[in-house]
Amino acid sequence: MRRRQFLQYGGGLAGVAGLSFLSGPLLAQAAPPPIEVSLRIQEADVEMVDGSAVFMWAFSLGTGKPSVPGPVIRLKQGQTVTLTVQNLASTPHSLQIPGMPGVSLGPIAPNGIGSVTFTVGLPGTYFYLDPDRAPLNRLLGLHGAIVVEPAAQPPGSPATPYAAGQATPGVRALFSALGNHARFPGSPWQPGRDRIWVFNQIDPRINKLAEAGDLAGALDLTASFLPRYFTINGLSGVDAAHDEATVPRGRVGQPLLLRALNAGLATHSPHIHGNHVFTTAEIVESSHAVRVLDNIIEEDTWSMPPLMRRDLLLPFAKPPEIPDAAWPPRQEKFPLIYPMHCHNEISQTSAGGSYPLGLVTDWIIEGPL
Ligand SMILES: [Cu+2]
């Protein structure tokens, strides 16, 4: 029996706090200094919402607590990053950042270390993941989110999540309207005001085969994938709805950027209640590069096929279905709590399980403008 860490349920984005030194003091600087990021890969027994444990591989930042998904890494465009990956698992592993050229590590042998130095590319939302035995290694835990922020915001124009030459007229128009148009009273978007939603799905039969060392069998079984657990940032159902790092929260007029990533094999159709969202970026299917959209439309439900990454602006406007005469609300009082849930059958039926194990969380309007 191998010794491995037991990851108690609820550790989803535990690594975020540990990374605050990367984003905090650097925000004000135009030329971001080079940084080193050290990741470790190890085996773990990860607790699910019903108390059962499944075998997974997990990333940690340095000697920090391993988590699935791995810790969120925040970088600046143009920054020089030395990324080191130490493999403490008993199988070889690799690392890639799809859509970010020049970042490819591995395979790294058990107890081996790999390292790569690269210049951070265009702003947007990225995955770091193990591309080996695709999709097995990423499905069994080896994935996390990277947020790339612009090195600087253009002076005199509203901040966007993208570089000056990357933002389209449509995106610039949307971000200019925030706090500046009757449709979006309040404030402009503040850089860093975002939430990361990493989706994954777990079919414990696959984890069991991998735990027994039958990686070929585990990979074969992904062809008949029947997930039992659906997670956002490692959490399911009511637990995701009570996780501060997951739940968007703010007052009317405080727009927030959702960064949605699907590491799993099931296509999700997240549906948000209470506001409409605006997709500002998605990926180019062939290269997985960030594609900033120009024709920005309002939608309630968006598609998240495997490996999709999408940025969506959640405007935190007065819910459009509430008439002006009924605002501010008197019957339903603040905070107004709305759900986001997946509309696809696969997550509603949960392999014959219960719907709360499907993809669902909340978002909260705490008060008026
Ligand atoms: Cu719905």
Ligand 1 center to 282 CA (angstroms): 22
Averaged pLDDT, groups of 10, the chain, 369 residues long: 69 42 44 93 95 97 96 97 98 98 95 97 98 98 98 90 96 97 95 98 97 98 95 93 97 98 97 97 97 96 97 94 86 92 84 74 95
Q: Are 161 and 280 in contact (CB under 8 A)?
A: yes
* Strand blocks (E) in 31-119: 35-47, 53-61, 70-76, 80-87, 93-96, 104-108, 113-119
CA of 301 to the centre of ligand 1 (A): 8
Give the Cβ contact number of residue 282 at 10 Å. 21
Say how many Å lie between the CA of residue 270 and the centre of ligand 1: 8
Ligand 1 centre distance from Cα of residue 168 (Å): 30
180: three-class secondary structure by DSSP: coil
Ligand 1: centre distance to CA 340 (Å): 7
Secondary structure (3-state) at 207:
helix
CA of 346 to the centre of ligand 1 (A): 15
Q: Count the helices and strands in the chain (H runs, E runs).
A: 8, 21
Q: Mind spelling out the 3-state secondary structure of 22-54?
A: HHCCCCCCCCCCCEEEEEEEEEEEEECCCCCEE
CA of 186 to the centre of ligand 1 (A): 27
* Distance of CA 237 from the midpoint of ligand 1 (Å): 14
Cis-peptide, bond into residue 169, ω within 30° of zero: no
The Cα 39–Cα 292 span in angstroms is 29
Distance 87 CA to ligand 1 centre (A): 41
- What is the rounded CA–CA span in Å between residue 199 and residue 54? 17
Question: Ligand 1 centre and the CA of 187: distance in Å?
Answer: 28
- Residue 349: predicted pLDDT: 76
CA 203 – ligand 1 centroid, Å: 24
How much distance in Å is there from the Cα of 269 to the middle of ligand 1? 9
Per-residue model confidence (pLDDT) at position 22: 42
pLDDT at 24: 40
Query: Percentage helix, strand, coil, to 5, in the chain?
Result: 15, 35, 50
What is the pLDDT at residue 356? Answer: 64
Taking ligand 1, which is a single-atom ion, which protein residues have CB atoms under 5 Å away?
271
Q: Please give the structure tokens belonging to residue 220.
A: 């074969």
pTM for this entry: 0.93
CA 114 to chain centre: 25
Distance 315 CA to ligand 1 centre (A): 18
Q: Report how far ligand 1's centroid is from the alpha carbon of 69 (Å).
A: 25
Cβ-in-10-Å burial (0-12, 13-18, 19+) of 349 comes to middle
Residue 2 and residue 17: Cα distance in Å, rounded? 30
How far away, in angstroms, is 271 Cα from ligand 1 center? Answer: 5
- Cα 81 from Cα 118, distance rounded (Å): 5
Instruction: From 342, 269, 281, 270, select the one nearest 311 (Cα to Cα).
Output: 281
CA of 221 to the centre of ligand 1 (A): 31
DSSP 119-168: E--SSEEEEEE--TTTTHHHHTT-EEEEEEE-SSPPTTS---SS-TTTS-
Beta bridge partners, 230, equal: 201
Q: Which two three-digit tokens encode residue 275?
A: 């506001």
Cα 71 to averaged position of ligand 1 atoms, centre (Å): 29
192 Cα: distance to centroid of ligand 1 (angstroms):
27
Give me ligand 1 centre to Cα 196, in Å. Answer: 20
d(CA 273, ligand 1 centre) in Å: 6
Relative to beta strand 270-272, strand 249-250 is: unpaired
